[in-house]
Structure 1
Amino acid sequence: MVTEQPQTTQTKRSRDITRFLALVGGIVLLNILAASYFFRIDLTEDKRYTIAPVTKQMLTSLEDDVVVEVYLEGDFPAGFKRLQQSVRETLNEFKQYAGGNIRTVFIDPTAIANDTARAHYFTQLAQKGIMPTNLRASEEGKQVERLVFPGAIVKYKGKEATVNLLKGNLAASAEQRLNQSVEGVEYEIAAAIRKIAFPAQKTIGYIMGQGQLDMQQVADLVGSLGEYYRVARGELSQIPDLQGLDLIVVAKPTQPFSELDKFKIDQFIMNGGKAVFFVDALQANLDSVGAGGMFAMPYNLNLDDLLFRYGVRLNPEMIMDLNSGFIPVVTGYMGDRPQTEMISWRFYPLLNNFSQHPITRNLDAVYSKFIGTLDTVRADGIRKTPLVFTSNYSRVLQPPVPITLEEARMEVRPEQFMAGPQPVGYLLEGKFTSLFRNRRAPAGASTTTVKEAGAETKIAVFSDGDLVRNDVNPRTGQPYELGFDRYNNVKFANRELALNTIHFMLDGGGLINVRSKEIKLRPLDKVRVKQERTYWQLLNLVLPLVLLTIFGFTRFYLRKRKYEQKR
């Protein structure tokens, strides 16, 4: 017995050393494998830490360093910290897939001590499109306000792109808008990287010749598209066909299309081309209203049969909506000076009712002018997705529609605005049938062959030509930003709607689908949090220490008892 004890002890010690060395070796091997083969497991229900495959593919294709300067830095309330943390986590994920080609810098613009230098820096950021924002959040039952710069600048090979990190719908609560911003972080940063590192090689054609908006009226749209695509413009009657284009834009035509013009568009679509139509059904213009008013009458655009064949009908109607914009109206005179007042103009609906499609998800309100309605009609094999609606409090008028400035002063009768949401934008996808099926090509066509069945493609139709029209400064002649309301100094999301539509149509299976990412809000009961705060603090902070102490004493007691018995 006495001689065997050392051998047993020695055997046990050797076994323990072997296990320890095996454990250390396993840990080292695991670290080597983890460094060589990157992987992560996202256990969250809404996959908030999962990067889309298209984003990963783009990041792995980077040839040079991308520098991301983030200005959302500082000591923020919890709501802003969540957005800040989401940006940081997303960029960390990007680094893993970019192979060291992404570098990040976080800057707090408000940390500059010198007032003059700080003001100058703020001005520089504003010139680059990063505007300061006063956001409010609720912290412990109190409203907290903080000046933040929710933006970033992405740099690549001498080129820069500005990223707006605070997106979402202004009509939503502060928490909801911040959540919408968190949902869009991956897309906004990835889109900026793609914009400067992987410029698209596709070509968009802006169709002219039927009284469409002139280049000054679409300057902002064309300029924005030029940052992503090649943009060509030309009169439809002066070109034999639309070959070489990937997508065409038809914006507010006011004159009829000839059969030959429609044939060119039709065959372009049959061959897989995409098209976006911004078309008015009724002729109306605020500048033409005047003191005596006017009657809005249908346009004769000769497009109805073409759109009908593709699956959508542009109704000769006009919508009024209680959720509307404002116009300046003279309400009196002080001496010889007119006194103007901003009055709700129900012929300018604010569109803030969207589908959950990637084009319109988390989009801010869109400004429309003299907008009509859309219906869908039977078109075999075509998927029809409504994108934009009016509010619940709309009214549909049949022509001739009287339009007078006096209407803005009239008392609202709510019972007249009970038509409900009206669709004003549709996305059509599938293989379309030609309008010229079983017909000959029109005289003057570049080919006598008619392609009667089309390849898979997409068409978008919006019943307002002014959605893509930017105002022009009457003094300087310079165009304003698309969606900017100069009377109320408010910017709407018209540009984002147009760009998202075109991005989706030209890259439907790509990056634009990242906008579908959804992160659910799980708010706490604020009343219970306030009432039970001390209880939960003790439960989470003190209870673990108590349990750990009990465990330590229990283990010590059992070990002591065990070895006392052996003696």
Structure 2
Amino acid sequence: MEVLMAQSEAPTSARSVHRQAWISALLVALLTLCVVVLSQRLRWRLDLTEENRYSLAPATLQLLDRLEDRLDLVLYFNQDIEGAEALLPVRLLIQDFLDELAAYGGDKVVVRTVDPTTDLLARQDAEHAKIAAVPFQELSVGALSVAELYQGLEMRYQDRSEVIPFIRPERMEFAFAVRLASLIEKQRPVIGFFSREPPAPPLMPGIPPRTPPDRIFEDLRNAVGRRFAVRDVELDRLEAVDQDLVALVVAQPQNMTAREVFSLDQYLAGGGHVLVLYDHLKVALPSWAPSPVESGLDAWLNGLGLAVGKRLLWDERGNPIQVDSRVVETQSGQQQEVPIFLNYGLFPELQDDSLNQSNPATAFLSQLDLLWAHPLQIREVPAGVEKEVLLQSSKRSWALPLDVTLSTSPGNLQALKAHAISLGPGRSYPLAVALSGSFPSQFLGKEIPPVTNPEAEEEQTAPPGSEASALRSAEGQGLLVLIGDSDLFRNEVLRQSPAQGSFAENLFDWLGQNADLIHLRMRGRKDREIRNFYQEYVEEEGAFATTDEEKREVDRGATRYQRGRQRQIAWLLVLGPAVLVLGLGLLRWRWRQKAAAKPYQAQFTSGSSTS
């Protein structure tokens, strides 16, 4: 009886299996079709990069949320890039970025692409917007020609416009966000600049401006001027540092009067943001002749729990500079001059462990160089004020007297190093510190210093005695950044070191409360350094090597250490995957052994019967 039932049920069971397979295939096809249709209508993406490099940054999203009118984006793009196909990935990144802007902005962001190489009107618009074509070599069969490449963006908002003449993908979003902020804010925020530099000459029509040699921070002003309006101020007048300034820079202060210190105190106590670039020595370039500097700020800084040591920092992790050269004979018999580099400890090279990784001004930097820096002393700060160290030297640092010789001759470098080691064990010194909070005025209960500048006294508008009654103290959240070096932002340094410029831009964005723009500017630009095992060994074991024999022994030990660590990593890369696969195989085998050990249990349907 059971055999007859099984034979009668077999064809029905086979037809049921085929029917279920067809239904499953049809459902899968319908589900795939729905997913394709929805993916075309809905924009979604998963950015797995560490810094979300392919997603719109929070700063950009905040600016788009502030749009009150339509933002027109006109992309000048030549569609035909035959002969320059290598540019296609860059073009796709740009197009994807603009699509993201349009998707997030909705009706308020309109993107239009025009081709100036085929559209005469678009070419005229590009010329009017000052977007010029970049020539590139186009390789064709048997010939080499020069073609035009347009890759600019015009941004139109209300009655204003901004232009990115040529879009570079690595800084594309930052360039867009800065220009969009300029369109929305209408007026750029103002940075005040105080120093003893001579005034800038007046601009003459048709004559390019010439920078006086003594305006040593002019390149810093220009770098800041890309984002802010920079105004030279005189601290003799309290009105000169009104609270409309987003920050005030005091660069290399010299012989500041009591009235100037009072104005600075009142600006900070009123919730202002101040950057002080402090130096005890003024070094003339290129002679490197030092001259002492009296700032007039020491007592005021002491009242805030800060002091700039009258010493020069010597860091064993100094910047390598050329000190000499020698002529060697090559294998071909020719004479070749080879430069000799030595670490100049008075130019400390600050690396990751010397940069505050939690502060936006320094977190995205990989390296920073200082010149003749002074160590800072941090004592007890006023109540309601918090302190934060931004820059510090390496643990192999010493504080040398101010009167040491600055020469870079090999003999002097050896003498400076020996002098440093003779002072005892090295340690890390703070080089830049930030104080934030409500700053009490240091002139409470004191006589207000009078105006000493006759011109400023004539312009003073406040009646006598009114300043004491309107004395500011702990009004708002202030910020003070003190750096024991001003040479890091000199014209000559900024022109040679991109890292200094990045730090300056980050610092002023932080002072101007634009920390999101810092992350956007530095995204993807921080170096991912490979560990240098040789250098680690030398810093740990070879710090006190002075004789040639000791140096050779340190070199041999560092080479052995480096090769040993490299072998360990190599064997790990070779054996690691095999051990991992073997371990997974054993786990799989063990799981199957456990499954096979279980007794078989037959499964019956509700309709089946036995007799």
Coarse TM-score class (shorter-chain normalised) = 0.5 to 0.7
Pairing 1:53–2:54 present: no
Equivalent runs, 1:223-242 vs 2, <5 Å = 223-237=222-236, 240-242=239-241
- Does the 8 Å contact 1:211/1:252 carry over to 2? no
Q: Offset at 1:517?
A: 7.1
One of 316, 319, 322 as aligned partner of 1:324: 319
**Structure 1 residues 468 and 104: alpha-carbon distance in aligned structure 2, compared to 1, 3 A threshold:** farther
**Structure 1 residues 515 and 289: alpha-carbon distance in aligned structure 2, compared to 1, 3 A threshold:** closer
> Which whole-Å CA distance do the structure 1 matches of 2:409 and 2:529 have between them?
45
One of 494, 500, 506 as aligned partner of 1:494: 500
> Which whole-Å CA distance do the structure 1 matches of 2:77 and 2:394 have between them?
39
- Does the 8 Å contact 1:470/1:483 carry over to 2? yes
Q: Offset at 1:531?
A: 7.2
Give CA deviations for 1:488-526 in whole Å, capped at 9, x if unaligned. Answer: xxx341111111101011124533245797999899x76
- Does the 8 Å contact 2:323/2:409 carry over to 1? no
Pairing 1:363–2:361 present: no
Give the counterpart letter for 1:310 in structure 2: L
> Which whole-Å CA distance do the structure 2 matches of 1:531 and 1:68 have between them?
53
Please tell me whether Structure 1 or Structure 2 has the larger radius of gyration of its CA atoms. Answer: 2
> Which whole-Å CA distance do the structure 1 matches of 2:197 and 2:482 have between them?
17
Pairing 1:442–2:444 present: no
**Structure 1 residues 427 and 198: alpha-carbon distance in aligned structure 2, compared to 1, 3 A threshold:** same
Equivalent runs, 1:128-143 vs 2, <5 Å = none
- Does the 8 Å contact 2:324/2:340 carry over to 1? yes
Pairing 1:397–2:400 present: yes
Q: Offset at 1:436?
A: 1.4
- Does the 8 Å contact 2:174/2:520 carry over to 1? no
Pairing 1:511–2:537 present: no
Give CA deviations for 1:444-467 in whole Å, capped at 9, x if unaligned. Answer: 384232112131122211111111
**Structure 1 residues 249 and 102: alpha-carbon distance in aligned structure 2, compared to 1, 3 A threshold:** farther
- Does the 8 Å contact 2:233/2:240 carry over to 1? no
> Which whole-Å CA distance do the structure 2 matches of 1:506 and 1:190 have between them?
20
- Partner secondary structure for residue 404 of structure 2: strand
How does the TM-score come out when normalised to structure 1?
0.62
> Which whole-Å CA distance do the structure 2 matches of 1:59 and 1:453 have between them?
35
Give the counterpart letter for 2:377 in structure 1: D
Residue number in structure 2 paired with 1:276? 275
> Which whole-Å CA distance do the structure 2 matches of 1:236 and 1:536 have between them?
68
Q: Offset at 1:372?
A: 0.2
- Partner secondary structure for residue 320 of structure 1: strand
Q: Offset at 1:326?
A: 2.5
Residue number in structure 2 paired with 1:258? 257
One of 189, 204, 229 as aligned partner of 1:202: 189
- Does the 8 Å contact 1:368/1:467 carry over to 2? yes
> Which whole-Å CA distance do the structure 1 matches of 2:72 and 2:37 have between them?
27
Q: Offset at 1:49?
A: 6.0
> Which whole-Å CA distance do the structure 2 matches of 1:526 and 1:93 have between them?
42
- Does the 8 Å contact 1:212/1:252 carry over to 2? no
Residue number in structure 1 paired with 2:486? 465
Give the counterpart letter for 1:355 in structure 2: N
> Which whole-Å CA distance do the structure 1 matches of 2:145 and 2:426 have between them?
55
**Structure 1 residues 233 and 516: alpha-carbon distance in aligned structure 2, compared to 1, 3 A threshold:** closer
**Structure 1 residues 75 and 528: alpha-carbon distance in aligned structure 2, compared to 1, 3 A threshold:** farther
- Partner secondary structure for residue 321 of structure 2: strand
Give the counterpart letter for 1:436 in structure 2: F
Q: Offset at 1:529?
A: 5.7
Give the counterpart letter for 1:222 in structure 2: R
Give CA deviations for 1:325-369 in whole Å, capped at 9, x if unaligned. Answer: 52667999xxxxxx9977644322233331212211232433322
Give the counterpart letter for 2:396 in structure 1: Y
> Which whole-Å CA distance do the structure 2 matches of 1:95 and 1:65 have between them?
9
Residue number in structure 2 paired with 1:189? 172
Unaligned runs of 5+ in 1: 126-151, 166-184, 333-338, 472-481, 486-490, 538-567
Percent of aligned pairs with the same residue? 19
One of 49, 65, 78 as aligned partner of 2:73: 65
Q: Offset at 1:263?
A: 1.2
> Which whole-Å CA distance do the structure 2 matches of 1:35 and 1:311 have between them?
61
**Structure 1 residues 325 and 90: alpha-carbon distance in aligned structure 2, compared to 1, 3 A threshold:** farther
- Partner secondary structure for residue 495 of structure 1: helix
Give the counterpart letter for 1:265 in structure 2: L
> Which whole-Å CA distance do the structure 1 matches of 2:137 and 2:428 have between them?
47
Q: Offset at 1:373?
A: 0.8
- Does the 8 Å contact 1:95/1:103 carry over to 2? no
- Partner secondary structure for residue 446 of structure 2: coil
Unaligned runs of 5+ in 2: 1-7, 115-132, 156-160, 201-211, 328-336, 452-459, 531-568, 582-611
After superposition, the CA RMSD in angstroms is 5.3
Residue number in structure 1 paired with 2:248? 248
- Does the 8 Å contact 2:137/2:145 carry over to 1? no
Give CA deviations for 1:180-213 in whole Å, capped at 9, x if unaligned. Answer: xxxxx6xx43321122222262101111348899
> Which whole-Å CA distance do the structure 1 matches of 2:77 and 2:399 have between them?
49
Give the counterpart letter for 1:54 in structure 2: A
**Structure 1 residues 189 and 425: alpha-carbon distance in aligned structure 2, compared to 1, 3 A threshold:** farther
Give CA deviations for 1:50-86 in whole Å, capped at 9, x if unaligned. Answer: 6443322224547121649899x9879xxxx9x9999
**Structure 1 residues 324 and 232: alpha-carbon distance in aligned structure 2, compared to 1, 3 A threshold:** same
> Which whole-Å CA distance do the structure 1 matches of 2:339 and 2:75 have between them?
48
